[in-house]
């Protein structure tokens, strides 16, 4: 029972604690900030403590028996891996917020929403019941709605509404998919559903409906448009939503449902990579011509999410391990890029890269951190991104889908081009706007992310081993 309590703590301490933050905020700003950090840290440390159990032969799964629906949890390696990634990036982003947000109004709401968001993210990760998955899924949507509209200008709110509506549309379609599963199996419990679909594969219509939800949350074609628009949010929010956590929900649920639980018809293993490939190429092309700092990074996210889907959907072990590693590497590096963008934006008051330049002289740490993170996203050894990209491609080639792998290769090449273009226009060349380095906490946060990106590459064997264990558990192979 100790472990059940651990999972409940991981999920509900941040969720319930979030509502204490405004009261703490009335007492003292520092108290509130550190309380917020502490709540996220609870999730992180709790997940850390679950590692040994998750890696053992019998991963945890619990159910809390309720009259109508059983509240099931499972803490297998996949869940713990994902929880570690999100809470770690979440932790750094909250730290970064201390200074970034201190200039604006509605700070209390900001912290409530961020912590609530991370708590529900833990809920999505650990729950093994479709209805609870859906509930937490939508709580994250509510939070991102408030967070995207944080600055309250008319355009901000409009785009917040757009993001909410697009993801809600996806979610409601996905809900119908869940109901189809429920109708066949008579349960929302994933373990029961898994038993039911041992021999047969999930009906294609259900796959399609659920996929709509996943793609809308992960901002993949054809639901990608809300993500670049949501760049109006404060930078820590964009980092949280677009890089580290929100868009990964879709990817995670894909892994949880279609890799770990339900067998799906073979042709999806060809269709999904193609959808992802088109999404990756189009987004990369958009990133090439865009001139708004945060929009470029946002398009880059859409493009990279395509790579993750490619890895997960290709249907062999190496690819899936690569996809999971990609979640980690991309989360760290992309959060770093967004946070760098935040520092630049806050100190120069513009997001237009044609008006920026030469910032490396006045912001050396930010520039280096940006470069490190960019290297990781590009996939340059020895940064973490290299290994994940390599494994995804190995998976693609192993499955014999050469054409789609080739398309992704072009996408990877484009990534290198647009990130170098971005770096050159913002940090190199002559200085157009003079700006000073960001505050200490903010710079420390981005440097931390850059360092972690490098570290994850050098010590790649640890996360890789973990991901491999997760994949073996998911596919039911012996370890």
Partner 1 sequence: MLSFFITTPLIVLMILNLPFRSLMKRIVFVVGLSLALIQAVLVALAIFGFWDIYSIPVSPMLRFNIGVDNLSLLLLLCNGMVVFITMLVSRSFIEEGEKRFNFTSLLLLSFAGVNGIALARDIFSLYVFIEVVSISSFILICFNKDRDAFEGAFKYIILSAIATIFMLTSIALIFLVSGDMSFEAVRAALDNSAHTSLVLMAIGLFLCGFFIKAGVVPFHGWLADAYTSASAPVSVYLAGVSTKAVGVYALIRIVVTVFGFDTPINKVLLFAGALSVVVGAIATLTQTDFKRMLAYSSISQIGYIVLALGIATPLGIAAAAFHFFNHAVFKSLLFVNAATLEIATGTREMDKLGGLAQRMPVTGVTSALACLSIAGVPPLAGFWSKLLIIIALWSSAHYNYALIAALASLLTLGYMLLLQRKVFFGSVGDHLARIKEGEWNLIICAIILAAVTVGVGVLFPFNLCKLIIR
Catalog residues that contact partner 1 under the rule CB under 8 A.
66-69, 71, 105-106, 131, 134-135, 138-139, 141-142, 145, 149, 152-154, 157-158, 160-161, 164-165, 168-169, 172-173, 175-176, 179-180, 182-183
| In the complex, least distance from residue 95 CB atom to partner 1, rounded to whole angstroms | 27
Q: Which residues are bridge partners to 62 per DSSP? A: 73
- The DSSP line for 178-231 is HHHHHHHHS--BHHHHHHHTSSSPPPHHHHHHHHHHHHHHTT-TTSTTHHHHGG
Nearer to partner 1, 108 or 398 (CB): 108
CB within 8 A of 399, min separation 6: which ones?
A: 269, 314, 315, 316, 319
Task: Answer whether the bond into residue 382 is a cis peptide, omega within 30°.
Answer: yes
Query: Of 470, 318, 466, 303, which Cα lies nearest the Cα of 388?
Result: 318
Residues near 350 by beta carbon (within 8 Å), at least 6 away in sequence: 356, 433
CB of residue 420 vs partner 1: minimum separation in angstroms? 38
C-beta closer to partner 1: residue 41 or 172:
172
Q: Closer to partner 1 by CB, 147 or 367: give it.
A: 147
Q: Which phi and psi (to 5°) does residue 105 adopt?
A: -80, 175
197, 180 Cβ separation under 8 angstroms: no
Find the helix or strand (DSSP H, E) in which 28 lies.
Answer: none
22 or 381, CB closer to partner 1?
Answer: 22
Nearer Cβ to partner 1 (246/442): 246
| Residue 302 to residue 284: CA distance in whole angstroms | 8
Nearer Cβ to partner 1 (172/397): 172
126 Cβ contact partners less than 8 Å away, ≥ 6 residues apart: 7, 10, 11, 73, 74, 75, 79, 83
Is residue 70 within 8 A of residue 79, CB to CB? The reply is no
CA distance 167 to 142: 10
- Cβ at position 70, least distance to partner 1 in Å: 9
Between 154 and 430, name the residue whose CB sits nearer to partner 1: 154
Distance CA 86, CA 302 (A): 18
Phi, psi of 224 (to 5 degrees): -80, -15
In angstroms, give the least distance from the CB of 426 to partner 1.
29
Q: Which is nearer to partner 1, 39 or 139 (CB)?
A: 139
The dihedral of CA 406, 412, 418, 420: what is its sign?
negative
> Least distance in Å: CB of 32 to partner 1?
16
Compute the least distance from the CB of residue 63 to partner 1, in Å: 12
To partner 1, the closest distance from the beta carbon of 236 in angstroms equals 20
> Measured from the CB atom, is 55 or 173 closer to partner 1?
173
**Residues 123 and 11: beta-carbon distance below 8 Å:** yes
Contact 235, 339 (CB under 8 A): yes
Cβ closest to partner 1, residue 109 vs residue 437: 109
Q: How far is the CB of 19 from partner 1 (least distance, A)?
A: 11
CA dihedral sign, ordered 299, 358, 420, 449: negative
Q: Which is nearer to partner 1, 156 or 290 (CB)?
A: 156
CB of 368 vs partner 1, minimal distance in Å: 37
Q: Are strands 71-75 and 60-64 parallel, antiparallel or unpaired?
A: antiparallel
Shortest separation between residue 341's beta carbon and partner 1, angstroms: 23
CB 251, min distance to partner 1, A:
21
């Amino acid at each position: 029972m100790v472990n059940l309590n651990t999972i409940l703590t991981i999920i509900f301490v941040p969720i319930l604690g979030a509502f204490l933050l405004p009261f703490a905020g009335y007492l003292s700003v520092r108290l509130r900030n550190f309380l917020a950090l502490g709540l996220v840290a609870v999730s992180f440390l709790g997940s850390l403590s679950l590692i040994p159990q998750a890696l053992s032969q019998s991963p945890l799964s619990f159910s809390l028996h309720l009259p109508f629906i059983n509240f099931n949890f499972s803490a297998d390696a996949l869940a713990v891996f994902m929880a570690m990634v999100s809470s770690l990036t979440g932790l750094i982003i909250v730290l970064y917020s201390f200074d970034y947000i201190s200039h604006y109004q509605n700070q209390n709401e900001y912290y409530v929403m961020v912590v609530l968001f991370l708590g529900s993210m833990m809920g999505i990760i650990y729950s093994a019941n479709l209805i609870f998955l859906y509930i937490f899924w939508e709580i994250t949507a509510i939070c991102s709605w408030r967070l995207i509209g944080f600055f309250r200008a008319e355009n901000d709110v409009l785009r917040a509404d757009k993001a909410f509506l697009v993801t809600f549309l996806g979610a409601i379609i996905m809900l119908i998919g869940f109901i189809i599963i429920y109708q066949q199996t008579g349960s929302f419990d994933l373990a029961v559903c898994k038993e039911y679909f041992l021999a047969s594969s999930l009906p294609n219509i259900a796959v399609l409906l659920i996929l709509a939800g996943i793609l809308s949350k992960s901002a993949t074609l054809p639901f990608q448009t809300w993500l670049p628009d949501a760049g109006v949010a404060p930078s820590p929010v964009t980092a949280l939503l677009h890089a580290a956590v929100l868009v990964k929900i879709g990817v995670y649920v894909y892994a949880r449902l279609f890799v770990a639980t339900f067998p799906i018809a073979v042709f999806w293993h060809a269709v999904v990579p193609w959808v992802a490939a088109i999404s990756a190429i189009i987004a990369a092309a958009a990133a090439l011509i865009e001139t708004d700092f945060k929009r470029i990074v946002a398009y880059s996210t859409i493009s990279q999410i395509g790579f993750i889907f490619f890895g997960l959907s290709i249907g062999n072990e190496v690819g899936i391990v690569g996809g999971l590693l990609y979640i980690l590497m991309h989360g760290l590096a992309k959060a770093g890029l967004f946070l760098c963008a935040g520092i630049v934006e806050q100190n120069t008051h513009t997001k237009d890269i044609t008006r920026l330049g030469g910032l490396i002289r006045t912001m050396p740490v930010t520039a280096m951190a940006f470069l490190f993170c960019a290297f990781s996203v590009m996939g340059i050894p020895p940064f973490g991104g290299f290994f994940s990209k390599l494994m995804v491609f190995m998976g693609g080639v192993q499955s014999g889908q050469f054409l789609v792998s080739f398309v992704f290769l072009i996408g990877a090449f484009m990534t290198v081009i647009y990130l170098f273009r971005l770096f050159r226009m913002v940090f190199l060349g002559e200085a157009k706007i003079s700006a000073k380095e960001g505050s200490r906490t903010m710079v420390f946060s981005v440097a931390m992310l850059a360092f972690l990106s490098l570290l994850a590459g050098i010590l790649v064997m640890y996360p890789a081993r973990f991901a491999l264990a997760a994949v073996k558990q998911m596919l039911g192979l012996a370890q």
